[in-house]
Chains A and B, each alone.
Chain A
């Protein structure tokens, strides 16, 4: 009897072991589908980082634990994202960073947007009948790349605003670790690689990194990038000079020119970070501090100003009336953006007027509750004038706030990978107006217009309240305004505000909204005369907002991350 019992126990043990083995094998496959709504947010009493990859958020948190400040954490997160989300940002691109440390009276904006090469001209692309560059030359290949700013930008922030307690090497190390360990291929990343496989194939160097046995990697695979690890080591050792001069700079220029580009060593050596004064404004008593042109923050303010005048807070959440107001306000904002926004170092941008409450009042008056504007013209803000991206946010208990949006532009950018470096060259040139005569036309040394809008929000008492931003091209502007409105007007927790359904309306064209809007709202909008396109319930084209919010009453920081992509916040 005892013997039989022992035998049964052994059999059970073996079966349990086999079951456990099978379970383990299953568990090794990351199931981080874009629609996984769980575990995106995080809270912390000391610090929170919200980024587009959980591993990048944790890299930032590790730096905070080591005694670094919010800027140290942001720089570590930024370098890590260049490895972990290689399709969205990296050494070949650039971005904007808004910093407000507890002791600073005014925030500062670090503009590390790429610049047009010295040999660039307004008519450098041959355009087809639809106004696009023939051969997709502004998007793919050497001619699509501008002079990258990422490394100089991140290291400038570290040098000027970092805690000085941690070395450059310490802050970059997490990125190196992930490049060597391998980036987990999620559902989201697998699809992005599939969608851009043609580009990677055409400029074959990328296949050695981003393909497995000649095909896109599958969910559960990992992407190891030893070349990028070595490049990051060079930056650890030599700082920005490792990229902007010497061997790696030579390789960048050689590969760019081999692929039809016009970059020179002088372009790289001459790249300069610009420190800009932020644009500030308010929304219902909260102060917004955001990045000025060529970034898009001014238009986030402009949109919220119009909505404040029009009283969006009093309209029902996701109602037809509210959606109509959002759509009409977006049309007016995008009309102005097209007409006025560009690199302020080359063109006069009336951004104080664009962000003014009085100007917004005149625009709000143009919106009729029962009629749809067809194609609004730009307004005249000068009368009120007085004077494919990733986003991550960091806040700590001391009230230090950092918001960074950075990009290589399209997913996998120009498709050109510099041999031996792991660097994907950006395709930011496509963000210029490709024909001469526009405020945003190409000029040597000019920075292309961007919708990137890293933004900080202070509460009515002037205390740090929220840091946020998003990728998503022009959708960034209404997406951020909607999240801010969800928090301030609707009182939503930050994760709910991020997850809530979004809409988008350009200057013209159809009103696009995520599927979770009600049928009543849809019918109401159609009855008003809108052409409505219904997107999936959670659609990645509506952005990827990563935000941190400070609940002063509870002395707790709340991070929110976007389920539309791979975002996940971390805190401690």
Chain B
């Protein structure tokens, strides 16, 4: 094979790889607008998800410490939960990890009662994993109908395993990559 042919083939393969459209696990929109945004774990990652929601053109209300009773009043059709814990965030909110899990469980139960779609978003990467974060992820993911994860946060397949076959999960490489799957999730 001539060198030029080899280089051209390598370049084409590289371009094809880069240009290949990501195939999404979620095949059709599942969520209605508007959305209600909260955290499960009080991490600052909610701030990045606010930007993602804005870019996805999904109208939303955000309350990091929302209680179950806040959902009905909001009129939201979809609950978006930002997954991952922060000791600093819990401290600032004046809430223990146990109390945060209780708040999340009550919120998720209320969302189910109201017929809301629940979407989990994990954008904190590897740093938003570990003993504390995993408790929150474990508590919330089974209640989700769809999960979007920045890949670094699932290197060990923990979230993939929690989602199993029942919950579609999409991974993106960078935080900004989460705009597209979120857009596609909303009708």
The reply to whether B176 and A213 form a contact with Cβ atoms under 8 Å apart is yes
Does B10 make an interface contact (CB < 8 A)?
yes
Hey, which chain A residues are within 8 Å of B176, CB to CB? 213-215
Q: How far is the CA of A198 from the CA of B47 in the complex (A)?
A: 5
How far, in Å, is B55 (CB) from chain A's closest CB?
Answer: 7
The reply to whether A214 and B55 form a contact with Cβ atoms under 8 Å apart is yes
* Contact A195:B174 (CB < 8 A) given known A14-B3, A14-B7, A214-B51: no
Does B106 make an interface contact (CB < 8 A)?
no
Hey, which chain A residues are within 8 Å of B166, CB to CB? none
Q: Which residue of A lies closest to B47 (CB)?
A: A198
Interface size on B, residues (CB 8 A): 22
Hey, which chain B residues are within 8 Å of A10, CB to CB? 3
Q: Which residue of A lies closest to B45 (CB)?
A: A194
Tally A-B pairs: CB < 8 A: 44
Hey, which chain B residues are within 8 Å of A474, CB to CB? none
Does A11 make an interface contact (CB < 8 A)?
yes
Q: Which residue of A lies closest to B48 (CB)?
A: A197
Q: How far is the CA of A191 from the CA of B174 in the complex (A)?
A: 14
With beta carbons under 8 angstroms apart, the residue of A14, A196, A213, A536 that contacts B6 is A14
Hey, which chain B residues are within 8 Å of A18, CB to CB? 10
Hey, which chain A residues are within 8 Å of B6, CB to CB? 11, 14
Q: How far is the CA of A198 from the CA of B88 in the complex (A)?
A: 14
* Contact A11:B48 (CB < 8 A) given known A214-B176, A216-B175: no
| CB-CB contacts below 8 Å: B36-88 with A | 44-48, 50-51, 55, 86, 88
* Contact A130:B3 (CB < 8 A) given known A194-B44, A197-B48, A215-B48: no
Does A201 make an interface contact (CB < 8 A)?
yes
Does B94 make an interface contact (CB < 8 A)?
yes
* Contact A196:B44 (CB < 8 A) given known A18-B10, A215-B51: yes
Interface size on A, residues (CB 8 A): 19
How far, in Å, is B82 (CB) from chain A's closest CB?
Answer: 12
| CB-CB contacts below 8 Å: A203-234 with B | 213-216, 218
Q: How far is the CA of A310 from the CA of B130 in the complex (A)?
A: 38
Q: Mark A1-29, 1 if CB is under 8 A from B, else 0.
A: 00000010011001000100000000000
Hey, which chain A residues are within 8 Å of B50, CB to CB? 201
Q: How far is the CA of A231 from the CA of B13 in the complex (A)?
A: 47
Does B25 make an interface contact (CB < 8 A)?
no
With beta carbons under 8 angstroms apart, the residue of B1, B10, B51, B55 that contacts A201 is B51
Q: How far is the CA of A18 from the CA of B11 in the complex (A)?
A: 10
Q: How far is the CA of A190 from the CA of B130 in the complex (A)?
A: 18
With beta carbons under 8 angstroms apart, the residue of A7, A14, A216, A536 that contacts B48 is A216
Does B124 make an interface contact (CB < 8 A)?
yes
Q: Mark B121-155, 1 if CB is under 8 A from A, else 0.
A: 00010010010000000000000000000000000
Q: How far is the CA of A201 from the CA of B130 in the complex (A)?
A: 27
How far, in Å, is B49 (CB) from chain A's closest CB?
Answer: 10
Q: How far is the CA of A18 from the CA of B10 in the complex (A)?
A: 9
Q: How far is the CA of A359 from the CA of B20 in the complex (A)?
A: 72
Hey, which chain A residues are within 8 Å of B44, CB to CB? 194-198
Hey, which chain A residues are within 8 Å of B94, CB to CB? 130
Most chain B CB neighbours (cut-off 10 Å) among A18, A191, A195, A201:
A195
Q: Which residue of B lies closest to A17 (CB)?
A: B7
How far, in Å, is B43 (CB) from chain A's closest CB?
Answer: 8
Q: Mark B84-111, 1 if CB is under 8 A from A, else 0.
A: 0010100000100000000000000000
With beta carbons under 8 angstroms apart, the residue of A130, A191, A201, A218 that contacts B47 is A201
Q: Which residue of B lies closest to A22 (CB)?
A: B14
How far, in Å, is B111 (CB) from chain A's closest CB?
Answer: 24
Q: How far is the CA of A213 from the CA of B51 in the complex (A)?
A: 11
How far, in Å, is A481 (CB) from chain B's closest CB?
Answer: 24
With beta carbons under 8 angstroms apart, the residue of B10, B46, B127, B130 that contacts A198 is B46
The reply to whether B88 and A215 form a contact with Cβ atoms under 8 Å apart is no
The reply to whether A215 and B175 form a contact with Cβ atoms under 8 Å apart is yes
How far, in Å, is A216 (CB) from chain B's closest CB?
Answer: 7
* Contact A11:B1 (CB < 8 A) given known A130-B94, A198-B44, A214-B176: yes
The reply to whether B3 and A194 form a contact with Cβ atoms under 8 Å apart is no
Hey, which chain B residues are within 8 Å of A198, CB to CB? 44, 46-47
Q: How far is the CA of A18 from the CA of B13 in the complex (A)?
A: 12
Q: How far is the CA of A218 from the CA of B50 in the complex (A)?
A: 18
Q: Which residue of B lies closest to A214 (CB)?
A: B51
Q: How far is the CA of A194 from the CA of B46 in the complex (A)?
A: 10
Q: Mark A507-523, 1 if CB is under 8 A from B, else 0.
A: 00000000000000000
How far, in Å, is B83 (CB) from chain A's closest CB?
Answer: 14
Q: How far is the CA of A216 from the CA of B88 in the complex (A)?
A: 19
Q: How far is the CA of A22 from the CA of B10 in the complex (A)?
A: 12
The reply to whether A194 and B1 form a contact with Cβ atoms under 8 Å apart is no
How far, in Å, is B87 (CB) from chain A's closest CB?
Answer: 9
Q: Which residue of A lies closest to B173 (CB)?
A: A218
The reply to whether A218 and B174 form a contact with Cβ atoms under 8 Å apart is yes
Q: Which residue of B lies closest to A195 (CB)?
A: B44
Hey, which chain A residues are within 8 Å of B3, CB to CB? 10-11, 14
Q: Which residue of B lies closest to A534 (CB)?
A: B131
Q: How far is the CA of A196 from the CA of B48 in the complex (A)?
A: 10
How far, in Å, is B56 (CB) from chain A's closest CB?
Answer: 12
Q: How far is the CA of A536 from the CA of B47 in the complex (A)?
A: 25
Most chain A CB neighbours (cut-off 10 Å) among B7, B124, B175:
B175
Q: Which residue of B lies closest to A198 (CB)?
A: B47
The reply to whether A194 and B10 form a contact with Cβ atoms under 8 Å apart is no
How far, in Å, is B92 (CB) from chain A's closest CB?
Answer: 8
| CB-CB contacts below 8 Å: A512-541 with B | 536
With beta carbons under 8 angstroms apart, the residue of A191, A213, A218 that contacts B127 is A191
Hey, which chain A residues are within 8 Å of B127, CB to CB? 191, 194
Q: How far is the CA of A356 from the CA of B186 in the complex (A)?
A: 68
With beta carbons under 8 angstroms apart, the residue of A11, A14, A194, A536 that contacts B124 is A194
Hey, which chain A residues are within 8 Å of B45, CB to CB? 194
Most chain B CB neighbours (cut-off 10 Å) among A7, A130, A196, A214:
A214
With beta carbons under 8 angstroms apart, the residue of A14, A195, A214 that contacts B88 is A195
Hey, which chain A residues are within 8 Å of B130, CB to CB? 536
How far, in Å, is A509 (CB) from chain B's closest CB?
Answer: 12
A-B residue pairs in contact (CB < 8 Å), sample of 20: A7-B1, A11-B1, A14-B10, A130-B94, A194-B127, A195-B88, A196-B44, A197-B47, A198-B47, A201-B50, A201-B51, A214-B51, A215-B48, A215-B174, A215-B175, A215-B176, A216-B48, A216-B175, A218-B174, A218-B175
Residues of A within 8 A of B (CB): 7, 10-11, 14, 18, 130, 191, 194-198, 201, 213-216, 218, 536
Closest 5 CB pairs of A and B: A198-B47, A197-B47, A215-B175, A195-B44, A191-B127
Residues of B within 8 A of A (CB): 1, 3, 6-7, 10, 44-48, 50-51, 55, 86, 88, 94, 124, 127, 130, 174-176
Known: A14-B3, A198-B44, A215-B174. 11 other contacts (CB 8 A): A10-B3, A11-B6, A191-B127, A194-B48, A195-B88, A196-B44, A197-B44, A197-B47, A197-B48, A214-B51, A218-B175
